């Protein structure tokens, strides 16, 4: 409101960068950073003054609630597609902590992680038998496996994982671009919220009884900081915030196919039982390949970063892709090399593909352990699968957000291990 309008008039005019962001995608912020000597990048995005920061110290600055809030930060089009209106991503302070606790209780801890990963692994092993001798698109198959696994684990009844997988993928795929992908994402969200909102009402009415402690059960019974149960639509939004990101691990599974193709050495090592190598492989996938370009919030008050003023209301972006490819943090950042994380496990605020800071106190992804564990389970499974990689478009365009292997990674002549 006024705060924003005021500081806009105080700022020097900077050409709006929304189009540059669309055209340059992941390389926009890192490119801007290389061309400036200032400790931050200044830009205008969607008509608003924005600054972009990166580096471990910036991560700590950004995830300090006294500095950055989320309440008004996420653009409407991103909420209408990716996260959902009223989602945990849009809360601050106590409201946020109480809602976030629900996600942490579901998604963290050895038991929770193993429950989800074992379920997905079973579905993968079944599906892999059906791939035998066929030509498949790894991205599509992985998204179905993940959708079926996570819904079963969450207590969400499902006849056919296909349409759910497609809707979850559409919501992620369409959040950052105008045009048909965006409208597909909005329709996918509307359909999914209606489906799960109805299901939550059935649970509350007693006509559906999910397993105790399942995500469906927990979300249906959750009480917010104000002591009230979630509106069924918000409950649907938060169930989707468990299901959709789990399905989105399909991006990394197809990236794993892409990574293994030119690297028989990595494949050989991944086939074995070396769990720490599989974890290092998971970290390197998350570091190397483009997924989250940056995350954003808004300055709560007048701030200063390394002598540069950041007026209250400024959009503050944390350059995730840039930080994950910063040669000051990762040697030879454009080489895919899982070994780097064997020698030195990632520091909390250095490797930030799913956000930084403390996940209980802040907005770091509560599903990060699940993601690493899923990739630790599926990476070796993919490595043990024998297949041919036909001629196809394996490019990963950095000007597409989110990017993906263009072909989805097609494999043929699949031979599942005995």
Binding residues for ligand MYR, rule: CB under 6 A, are 78, 82, 172, 244-245, 248, 292, 295-296
User: What tokens does 205 get?
Assistant: 């009415």
Structure letter (DSSP) for residue 351: -
**Whose Cβ is closer to ligand MYR: residue 120's or residue 389's?**
120
Closer to ligand MYR by Cβ: residue 252 or 277: 252
Q: Which is nearer to ligand MYR, 68 or 260 (CB)?
A: 68
**In the complex, least distance from residue 361 CB atom to ligand MYR, rounded to whole angstroms:** 19
Q: Smallest gap, in angstroms, from Cβ of residue 291 to ligand MYR?
A: 6
Which residues partner with 410 through β-bridges? 137
CA distance 141 to 70: 35
- b/e for 344-365, b at 16 or more Cβ within 10 A? eebeebbbbbbbbbebeebbbb
**Which of 249, 224, 220 has its CA nearest to residue 100?**
224
Closest contact distance (angstroms) between CB of 206 and ligand MYR is 31
Nearest-approach distance from CB 190 to ligand MYR, in angstroms? 16
Closest separation in Å from C-beta 172 to ligand MYR: 5
Least distance CB 233 / ligand MYR (angstroms):
18
The SS3 of residue 378 is helix
Distant-in-sequence, close-in-space partners of 323: CB < 8 Å, separation ≥ 6: 54, 55, 59, 329, 350, 352
| Residue whose CB is less far from ligand MYR, 82 or 411 | 82
Residue sitting closest to ligand MYR (CB): 296
Specify the residue, 403 or 410, whose C-beta has the smaller distance to ligand MYR. 403
Cβ nearer to ligand MYR, comparing 82 with 259: 82
How far apart CA 3 and CA 11 sit, in angstroms, is: 13
Q: Kindly tell me which of 172 and 260 has the beta carbon lying closer to ligand MYR.
A: 172
Measured in degrees and rounded to the nearest 5, phi and psi for residue 332 equal: 50, 55
Q: Could you please report the per-residue DSSP string of 61-101?
A: HHT-TTTEE-TTTS-HHHIIIII-TT-GGG--HHHHHHHHH
Instruction: Quote the least distance from Cβ 269 to ligand MYR, whole Å.
Output: 28
Those residues with Cβ within 8 angstroms of residue 114's Cβ, 6 or more apart along the chain or in another chain: 373
């Amino acid at each position: 409101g006024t705060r924003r309008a005021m500081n806009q008039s105080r700022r020097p005019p900077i050409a709006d960068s929304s189009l540059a962001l669309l055209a340059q995608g992941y390389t926009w912020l890192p490119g801007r950073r290389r061309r400036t000597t200032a400790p931050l990048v200044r830009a205008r995005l969607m008509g608003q003054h924005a600054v972009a920061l990166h580096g471990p110290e910036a991560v700590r600055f950004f995830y300090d609630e006294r500095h950055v809030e989320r309440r008004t930060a996420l653009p409407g089009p991103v909420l209408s597609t990716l996260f959902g209106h009223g989602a945990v991503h849009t809360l601050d302070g106590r409201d946020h902590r109480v809602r976030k606790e629900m996600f942490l209780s579901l998604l963290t801890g050895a038991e929770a992680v193993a429950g989800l990963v074992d379920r997905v692994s079973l579905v993968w092993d079944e599906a892999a038998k059906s791939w035998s001798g066929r030509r498949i698109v790894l991205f599509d198959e992985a998204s179905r496996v993940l959708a079926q696994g996570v819904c079963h684990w969450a207590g969400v009844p499902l006849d056919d994982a296909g349409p759910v997988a497609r809707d979850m993928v559409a919501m992620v795929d369409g959040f950052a671009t105008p045009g048909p992908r965006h409208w597909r994402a909005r329709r996918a969200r509307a359909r999914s919220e209606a489906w799960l909102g109805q299901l939550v009402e059935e649970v509350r009415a007693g006509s559906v009884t999910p397993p105790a402690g399942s995500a469906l059960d927990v979300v249906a019974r959750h009480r917010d900081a104000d002591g009230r149960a979630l509106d069924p639509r918000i409950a649907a939004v938060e169930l989707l915030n468990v299901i959709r990101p789990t399905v989105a691990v399909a991006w990394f599974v197809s990236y794993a196919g892409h990574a293994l193709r030119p690297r028989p050495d990595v494949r050989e090592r991944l086939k074995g039982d070396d769990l720490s190598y599989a974890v290092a492989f998971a970290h390197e996938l998350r570091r190397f390949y483009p997924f989250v370009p940056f995350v954003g919030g808004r300055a709560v008050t007048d701030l200063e970063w390394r002598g540069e003023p950041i007026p209250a209301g400024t959009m503050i972006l944390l350059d995730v892709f840039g930080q994950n490819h910063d040669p000051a943090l990762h040697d030879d950042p454009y080489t895919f090399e899982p070994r780097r994380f064997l020698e030195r496990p990632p520091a909390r605020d250095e490797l930030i593909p799913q956000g930084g800071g403390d996940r209980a106190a802040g907005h770091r992804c509560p599903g990060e352990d699940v993601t690493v564990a899923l990739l630790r389970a599926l990476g070796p499974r993919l490595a043990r699968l024998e297949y041919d990689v036909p001629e196809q478009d394996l490019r990963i365009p950095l000007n597409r957000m989110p990017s993906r292997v263009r072909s989805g990674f097609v494999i043929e002549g699949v031979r599942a291990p005995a």
